[in-house]
Chains A and B, each alone.
Chain A
Amino acid sequence: MSESGASVRLSGWGRSRMALCHLLRPVTRDDAVNDGSATSSLIARGNGRSYGDASLNTAATLSTLRLDRLLAFDPADGLLTAEAGLLLSDLLALFVPRGWFPPVTPGTRFVTLGGMLATDAHGKNHHVDGSFGEHVRQFDLLCGDGVVRRCSRTQNVDLFRATIGGMGLTGTVLTVTLALRRIETPWILQETVRCRDLDETLAAFEAARSSPYSVAWIDCLAKGGGRGRALMYRGEHAPAAAVPTGTRAPRLVAEPPRLRVPVDFPGWFLNGRTVQAFNALYYHHGRPGSALIDYQRFFYPLDAIGDWNRFYGRRGFMQYQCVVPTAGGRGSLLRLLDLIAAGGSGSFLAVLKQFGACGPPGQGGLLSFPMAGYTLAVDFPTSAAALSLMREMDHVVADCGGRLYLAKDARMDPAMMSATYPDLDLFRGICRAVDPRRRYRSLLSERVAL
């Protein structure tokens, strides 16, 4: 039964751009096929955690949140098939107690499987395990011509590669089959390292190459000799032997947290001074050493505060996440950090992470973001100054052969897009083959002329 949708004001997580979208909310796979067939254009939306305008289409935005059924699970090899709207938080609550963990997880668990596929999400283990798409065995894709196609590394291979990281522009992902991995405990052995400048931070990443998980929180507002000072966190799944007997398993939190930001903070709340003070406090407060912590605290520290995006007030914020190649990476990062420090409007959340090589060439997603190098993510409150700062940062990124993450972007222009994503024409051709009228569109795809 097809239900006509309602117009709803939607935005990405950064809330920098709101749009009145015709929201479709199918409950079954058949609904999804029918609901989307009549609209002039559409885009699928998971849990709305991409930051910019990737999940917005005013003509029709199809929410997959009610398509969240588990369809098959094989406890022998951990292969899970589920509908694309399944939240990672649900997956964790259901499978961690059985000793399984997602192969890749981003920094929030309030994302859907379809969203992780469409953004080719990466996690703290990218340097070892690659991105989400590498663990996807197959998926069913509803294309713009109304046909549902099964895609894998042997079936509809082009479409498989275009959809991984393809920002939903190849169609609506209906089901995903992925391989979970075994864990012995829900605990993480975490080690914190304090790094006094960028060289120490990069050296710490090199030293952490064999650690399954690594990430650094970096103080973007530190100047001079302390540029790039950071707290680096390394982690691994704790084996049963590492957990003292009698330790109670952590409480699993599947629901959004009770502690939430109830209102929009005033726009002046986050300014250069408050953030600088916070960063200094955070840096000096971080305790080097090792600890046994709950996986939720390790992977999802910000999930503990609901609606934390409201800290940035009504105007919203933008996250700038770029990757720069390993060769010359240090220099590029220093140039970016100098620009940010000079701009003075950095953020709580600045994250540096080393990416590994991205599998054999000719296999990964055509629009996948990761490449061997360093990725830096910084939040800025939406403002004219931040926008011009980000334009300057674009030059540094483009000059060194890096690129921006579409899942976070809200302001890149078509020139930057075509200069930094080499497989764009190939991608467009694959889209056109299954969607001759290019019905799958989003505000993002229109903005960067995808």
Chain B
Amino acid sequence: MTDPTLAQTGLVVRREPVLIIGALSDIGRALARVYGREGYPLLLAARRVERLTSDIQDLTLRFGVPVGAVELDILDLAGQGAFLDALGCLPGTVICVVGLLGCQPEAEKSWIQTDLILRTNYVAPACLLGEIANRMQARGSGCVIGISSVAGDRGRASNYLYGSAKAGFTAFLSGLRNRLSRHGVKVMTIKPGFIDTRMTRGMTLPPFLTAQPAEVAEAIWKAQAHGRDVVYLRPVWRLIMLIIRLIPEVLFKKLEI
């Protein structure tokens, strides 16, 4: 498609497909743009897959890569196996962007909401990525990328239901990495701080600590290329969370942060 006099051409590498779970989210969309640009065939999974039509058109026109869309309700645990079988192939990289912040004060009073937050952020992604990891282990290659959160590093009053689910997800990814590191399967934990997405819309966020979805997607792609294990986005969050984790509990329980 491109002419060498018009653009610098690199080596043409055949890429294995990338599966993005939660492709309708702001980060999912940004990831599709980055991996598409890098020449990866894309598989986009979302609950309301019909909303992806214009994105598929866009990605195809932009990058000329194959783009497929698959319907997935990640909370339907029994249907996950069938979803993976229906993909037709096991992707080289799987990125899970699924997340639900929920409303903490309401969830405190509602087991239904609490259950939904825990299942969406932890149970369902753990089941799906666990099954994918098993299949990658059998194949002997692959990369699983989970988007967790700095909120999982220490529980705080303002979002501990979300945070505790993310803490579970972080521990899950850590264990999975430990188990699979000798089997050729790479597991990456991404811990974003604030990101300017629909999840945080309406909140007042400090601009220096708040990343844009496109920036997050670039950083994930770079981190994968460099073979990183745990990535904080923006990197300053590693320091912030270190300090927050170091505060003694006696003191921490009285703080409002």
Chain A residues within CB distance 8 Å of chain B: 1, 3-6, 25, 27-29, 66, 69-73, 83, 94, 96-99, 183-186, 240, 243, 247-249, 251-252
Contacts and interface: CB of A to CB of B under 8 A. Distances in A.
A25 B4 contact: no
Contacts of B61: 70-73
B6 A5 contact: no
A248 B6 contact: no
Contact of A6 (B8, B26, B203): B203
Nearest to A69: B58
A70 B36 CA distance: 14
A6 B201 CA distance: 7
B3 to A, nearest CB: 6
Given A6-B201, A27-B29, 17 more contacts: A28-B51, A69-B54, A70-B57, A72-B57, A72-B61, A73-B61, A96-B7, A97-B1, A97-B3, A98-B6, A99-B3, A186-B7, A249-B4, A249-B6, A249-B7, A252-B7, A252-B8
A3 B62 CA distance: 28
B5 interface: yes
Contact of B2 (A3, A69, A98, A251): A98
B109 interface: no
B57 A99 contact: no
Nearest to B1: A98
Contact of A96 (B6, B26, B57, B198): B6
Contacts of A99: 3, 6
Interface of B: 1-8, 26, 29, 51, 54-55, 57-58, 61-62, 198, 201-204
Contact of B55 (A4, A6, A69, A72): A69
A253 B92 CA distance: 29
A71 B55 CA distance: 9
**Secondary structure dominating the interface of A:** loop
B8 A249 contact: yes
A69 B6 contact: no
Contacts of A98: 1-3, 6
Nearest to B51: A28
A184 B55 CA distance: 30
Nearest to A4: B202
Contact of B5 (A5, A243, A251): A243
A27 B26 contact: yes
A186 B7 CA distance: 8
A325 B5 CA distance: 41
Contact of A184 (B5, B8, B51): B5
Sort A-B residue pairs by CB-CB distance and give the 4 closest, nearest first: A97-B7, A69-B58, A70-B61, A97-B2
B170 to A, nearest CB: 28
Nearest to B29: A27
27 contacts: A3-B201, A3-B202, A6-B201, A6-B202, A6-B203, A6-B204, A25-B201, A69-B54, A69-B55, A69-B57, A69-B58, A70-B57, A70-B58, A71-B54, A71-B58, A71-B61, A72-B61, A96-B6, A97-B1, A97-B3, A97-B6, A97-B7, A98-B1, A185-B6, A243-B5, A249-B6, A252-B8
